[in-house]
Amino acid sequence: MSLSVIRPYFRVRMNSLGYREWKEPFTDGDNLPENILDGSYVVSPISVSGEQLDQKLQNLEAEITVTLFLKGFRDPSAAVDSGTAKGEGIIQEVMDPANRLGADLKNVIFSSMEVLPMADSNDNSIRVVLIFNNITQVCL
């Protein structure tokens, strides 16, 4: 078990879909240059909680947020439709049992997805925010 495998797991999945990582995990996209905004993503730092199973075994649940940035929409409704479709593709890739069930990660559970404008004044660029819970165990 290692919590350090969680963020790389999501990087591999996003890269396999052709997206590019913006290596600033604390951003909401406001510092992304316009020329690389479209198709960029950010994997947030993890937030971990635990539950003791017995004297030597502890379940760990790590929440992680993946944000995909898309731009160039003239029609906000088309932006929502495109963001929803791309979000669904990410969910399918991340949740594929061949990808998610391994020795380090016991399970990956999809939690939620939102398609949001980049800013109230900019609905031509959007953020697709996906939240996943990652289950792993540690032997104490």
Q: Looking at residue 66, which CATH number applies to its domain? A: 3.30.70.1700
Asked which of 40-44, 85-89, 123-127 is least confident by mean pLDDT, the reply is 123-127
Mean pLDDT for all residues in the chain: 85
Looking at the structure of the chain, the number of domains it has is: 1
Query: Given a cut of 90, is residue 103 above it in pLDDT?
Result: no
Task: Record the tokens describing residue 135, joined without a space.
Answer: 């289950």
Residue 82's pLDDT is 92
Give the structural domain span for 128. 3-139
Confidence of residue 130 (pLDDT cuts 50, 70, 90): very high
Confidence of residue 88 (pLDDT cuts 50, 70, 90): very high
